């Protein structure tokens, strides 16, 4: 709770508020002292070491005001209400500066306090300890996960919002099993769930109630996109509305982006246009398994234009590799992930990376990679280097060694092959007390890709 030396600047307590948030009730007037000095002296007061501990220093509150009665005078606000609270040194210093002490009424209103502070003043005391802190904000929409003990207060909690937020929703426990989007209930504001969200210099539009979006994956999106070279061709099997595909294309990559949810595919197409990457991203709407089987042929038959932007310098390559090693757990027995595969192709027709972010079941799709390449001369020649696979997954093994063993075992069993070289495991986030999300990256074994 905000507090200065002797003043209580916490919001008024209103534990009786139940359904309607009355913002006016949060007005608070605090009489404080101000040093009235000529405008030319304000600098000496503000810079003085003696005054440091006595100056008003509150967020969103201006500490120097014009004197309403005299244009040439200023009021330097102090953090006390009684002059006894000032030390003798401070009083002497103010006298030397010909400052006089006056009472100023500091007016704080609802907007002054943070959502957390307001929550603390309205929730029953026993709920204040672990009160839901803040909101996750996406575009104009704030969403929160309220535990069951907060549910009786959900409507009032929903009303605590800042002016940028037009809609507040509570994420319900149930998640759409097929397309992974959250069911949500409106707590406050307009029932408008189509948001425009900005991330990684890209603009994403989507309907929160019909597609998957998780702002917490922002760093994971960035991490993978940074691994890609601008010359790469990426196949995004579970692309959603494009949080990997669009930023990758913005750096020059060509992307085949797929999602089975027709709504995701529709917003993905809109985002491709809005972000002006139409020549670099192709959207499709089919099952991931079919997409994996067909995508090699699509890139071969309809190549992407050659990358013409600036080349990565040796230095940038080194940095990229360092970053990859720093952020992931190289699986010692298997070696490190090497730099991705294909050098400047002209035009681009060979896939360097597959992204598979469907953590619940992406591993189950890995057998679709068996036989994606044929023994044709073209495939042999162009896939001298196998693509990298970045496959997201969950594990209930919380110890890193056991998580590694569990994930590798499931991946190898689905591929029907041992993972050979260049394997790393990256812990993305903890999604529940007993469930972690990982990304395993590995180079597709040749024998799997060329399997009969
Ligand atoms: C966890 S979301 C990830 C979306 C996006 N890549 C991201 O990082 O935010 C998984 C996506 O896979 C899509 N999906 C679910 N099952 C699928 C399937 N069988 N084939 C293709 N896409 C599928 C869902 O519609 C959803 O958009």
Is-contact 341 388, C-beta < 8 A?
yes
DSSP bridge pairs for 103: 33
**How confident is the model at residue 204, as a pLDDT?**
97
HEC-encoded secondary structure of the chain: CCECCCCECCCCCCCCCCCCCCHHHHCEEEEEEEEEEEHHHHHHHHHCCCCHHHECCCCCCCCEEEECCEEEEEEEEECCCCHHHCCHHHHHHHHHCCCEEEEEEEEECHHHCCHHHHHHHHCCHHHHCCCCCCCEEECCEEEECCCHHHHHHHHHHHHCCCCCCCEEEEEEEEECCCCCCEEEEEEEECCCCEEEEEECCEEEEEECCCCCCCHHHHHHHHHHHHHCCCCCEEEECCCCCCCCHHHHHHCCCEEEEECCCHHHHHHHHHHHHHCCCCCCEEEECCCHHHHHHHHHHHHHHCCECCCCCCCCCHHHHHHHHHHHHHHCEEEHHHECCCCCCCCCCCCECCCCEEEECCCCCHHHHHHHHCCCCCCCHHHHHHCCCCCEEEEEEEECCCCHHHHHHHHHHHHHHHHCCCCCCCEEEEEEEEEECCEEEEEEEEECCHHHHCCC
Residue that wins the pLDDT comparison between 136 and 11: 11
pLDDT digits (tens, 9 = 90+) for 27-66: 999 999 999 999 999 999 999 999 999 999 998 899 999 9
Would strands 70-77 and 281-284 be described as parallel, antiparallel, or unpaired?
unpaired
Between CA 240 and CA 218 the distance in angstroms is 13
Burial-class residue 339 by CB neighbours within 10 Å (0-12, 13-18, 19+): middle
Rounded CA separation 93/105 (Å):
23
Q: How confident is the model at residue 185 (pLDDT cuts 50, 70, 90)?
A: confident
Closest CA to 115 of 64, 183, 187: 187
In angstroms, the CA 85 to CA 33 distance is 10
| 416 among annotated binding-site residues | no
Say what the pLDDT of residue 412 is. Answer: 97
Higher pLDDT: 121 or 334? It is 121
> What does the pLDDT average to over 293-303?
97
Q: How far is CA 242 from the centre of its chain?
A: 14
Report the pLDDT value the prediction gives residue 1, as an integer from 0 to 100: 40
**Is 358 exposed, middle or buried (CB count within 10 Å of its CB: 0-12, 13-18, 19+)?**
buried
Q: 330 falls in which pLDDT band (50, 70, 90)?
A: low
Q: How confident is the model at residue 273 (pLDDT cuts 50, 70, 90)?
A: very high
* pLDDT for the residue numbered 120: 81
For residue 134, what pLDDT band results from cuts at 50, 70 and 90?
Answer: low
According to the annotation, is 49 in a ligand binding site?
A: no
Q: Looking at 32-36, 129-133, 420-424, which range is the least confident one? A: 129-133
Per-residue pLDDT, 333: 46
Q: Residue 276: pLDDT above 90?
A: yes
Residue range 101-115: average pLDDT? 90
pLDDT of residue 131: 61
Q: Are 363 and 414 in contact (CB under 8 A)?
A: yes
Name the residue of 176, 240, 431 to mutate for ligand 1: max ligand atoms within 8 A of Cβ: 240
Note the pLDDT of residue 341.
46
State both tokens at 116: 């957390």
CA of 260 to the centre of ligand 1 (A): 7
pLDDT the model gives residue 386? 93
- Ligand 1 mean position to 315 CA, how many Å? 35
pLDDT for 348 equals: 94
Q: Whose structure tokens read 């000529």?
A: 38
Q: What mean pLDDT value characterizes the chain?
A: 87
- 210 CA distance to ligand 1 middle (Å): 12
What is the C-alpha separation between 402 and 420, in angstroms, rounded? Answer: 19
Task: Give dist(CA 318, CA 309) in Å, integer.
Answer: 19
The domains located in the chain, with CATH, are 28-108 (3.30.70), 130-207 (3.30.300.110), 215-449 (3.40.50.150)
Q: Residue 205 pLDDT more than 60?
A: yes
Residues with a CB atom less than 6 Å from ligand 1: 179-180, 212, 214, 217, 238-240, 243-244, 258-261, 264, 287-288, 357-358
Higher pLDDT, 108 or 177: 108
Angle subtended by helix axes 314-327 and 218-227, to nearest 10: 140
Return phi, psi of residue 320, to 5°.
-65, -40
Which is more confidently placed, 256 or 163? 256
Confidence of residue 181 (pLDDT cuts 50, 70, 90): confident
Q: List beta partners, residue 203.
A: 198
Give the CA distances from residue 19 to residues 114, 348, 420, in Å, rounded to whole numbers and listed in that order: 19, 59, 60
Confidence of residue 327 (pLDDT cuts 50, 70, 90): low
| Distance of CA 269 from the midpoint of ligand 1 (Å) | 15
Residues of the chain above pLDDT 70, percent:
88
Task: Name the CA dihedral angle for 371, 373, 377, 381, rounded to a multiple of 10 degrees.
Answer: -130
The confidence band for 322, taking pLDDT boundaries of 50, 70 and 90, is low
Judge contact between 110 and 26, C-beta under 8 A.
yes
> Which pLDDT does position 291 carry in this prediction?
98
**What pLDDT, on the 0 to 100 scale, is given for residue 392?**
98
**Of 20-24, 26-30, 191-195, 202-206, minimum mean pLDDT range:** 20-24
Residue 124 burial by CB count (10 A; 0-12/13-18/19+): exposed, middle or buried? Answer: exposed
CB-CB contact of 181 with 210 (8 Å): yes
Task: Output the six-digit token pair for 81.
Answer: 């209400």
Q: 191-195, 232-236, 311-315: lowest mean pLDDT where?
A: 311-315
Least confident range from 13-17, 24-28, 65-69: namely: 13-17
Q: Does position 3 have pLDDT exceeding 70, yes or no?
A: no
For residue 267, is pLDDT > 70?
yes
Mean pLDDT of 274-286: 98
For the chain, what percent of residues have pLDDT higher than 90?
60
Cα 187 to Cα 193: distance, rounded to the nearest angstrom: 12
pLDDT mean over 388-405: 95
pLDDT digits (tens, 9 = 90+) for 341-383: 445 667 899 999 999 999 999 999 999 999 999 988 899 889 9
398/405 Cα distance (integer angstroms): 11
Q: Which residues pair with 425 in a beta bridge?
A: 329, 440
Lowest mean pLDDT among 115-119, 215-219, 230-234, 416-420: 115-119
d(CA 91, CA 338): 68
Of residues 10 and 244, more confidence is placed in 244
Q: What is the pLDDT of residue 22?
A: 83
Cα 374 to averaged position of ligand 1 atoms, centre (Å): 28
Confirm whether residue 367 is marked as ligand binding.
no
* Size of the chain in residues: 452
The pLDDT assigned to 132 comes to 64
Pocket test residue of 210, 224, 259, 438 for ligand 1, highest count of atoms within 8 A of CB:
259
């Amino acid at each position: 709770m905000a507090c200065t030396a002797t003043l209580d600047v916490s919001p008024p307590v209103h534990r009786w508020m139940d359904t309607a948030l009355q913002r006016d009730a949060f007005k608070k007037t605090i009489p404080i002292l101000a040093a009235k000095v000529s405008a030319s002296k304000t600098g000496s007061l503000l810079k003085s070491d003696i005054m440091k501990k006595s100056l008003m220093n509150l967020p969103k509150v201006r500490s120097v005001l014009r004197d309403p009665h005299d244009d040439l005078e200023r009021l330097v606000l102090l953090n006390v209400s009684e002059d006894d609270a000032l030390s003798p040194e401070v009083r002497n210093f103010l006298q030397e500066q010909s400052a006089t002490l006056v009472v100023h009424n500091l007016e704080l209103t609802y907007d002054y306090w943070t959502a957390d502070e307001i929550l603390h003043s309205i929730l029953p005391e026993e709920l204040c300890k672990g009160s839901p802190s803040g909101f996750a904000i996406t575009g104009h929409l704030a969403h929160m996960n309220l535990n069951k003990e907060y549910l009786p207060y959900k409507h009032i909690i929903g009303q605590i919002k800042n002016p940028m937020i037009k809609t507040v929703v509570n994420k319900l426990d149930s998640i759409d099993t097929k397309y992974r989007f959250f069911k949500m209930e409106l707590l406050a504001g307009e029932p408008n769930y189509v948001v425009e969200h900005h991330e990684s210099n890209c603009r994403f539009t989507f309907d929160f109630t019909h597609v998957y979006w998780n702002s917490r994956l922002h760093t994971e999106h960035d991490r993978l996109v940074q691994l890609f070279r601008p010359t790469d061709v990426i196949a995004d099997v579970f692309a959603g509305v494009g949080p990997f595909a669009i930023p990758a294309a913005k750096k020059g990559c060509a992307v085949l982006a797929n999602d089975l949810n027709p709504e995701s595919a529709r917003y993905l197409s809109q985002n491709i246009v809005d972000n002006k990457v139409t020549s670099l991203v192709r959207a499709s709407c089919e099952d991931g398994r079919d997409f994996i089987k067909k995508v090699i042929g699509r890139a071969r038959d309809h190549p992407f234009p050659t990358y013409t932007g600036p080349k990565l310098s040796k230095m940038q390559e080194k940095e990229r590799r360092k970053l990859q090693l720093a952020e992931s757990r190289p699986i010692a027995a298997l070696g490190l992930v090497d730099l991705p595969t294909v050098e400047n192709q002209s035009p681009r027709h060979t896939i360097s990376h597959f992204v598979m972010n469907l953590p619940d079941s992406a591993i189950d799709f890995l057998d679709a990679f068996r036989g994606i390449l044929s023994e044709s001369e073209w495939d042999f020649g162009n896939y001298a280097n196998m693509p990298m696979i970045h496959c997201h997954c969950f594990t209930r093994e919380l110890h890193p060694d056991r998580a590694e063993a569990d994930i590798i075992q499931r991946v190898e069993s689905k591929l029907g092959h041992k993972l050979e070289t260049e394997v790393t495991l990256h812990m993305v986030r903890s999604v529940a007390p007993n469930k972690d999300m990982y990304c395993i990256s590995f180079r597709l074994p040749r024998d799997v890709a060329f399997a009969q």
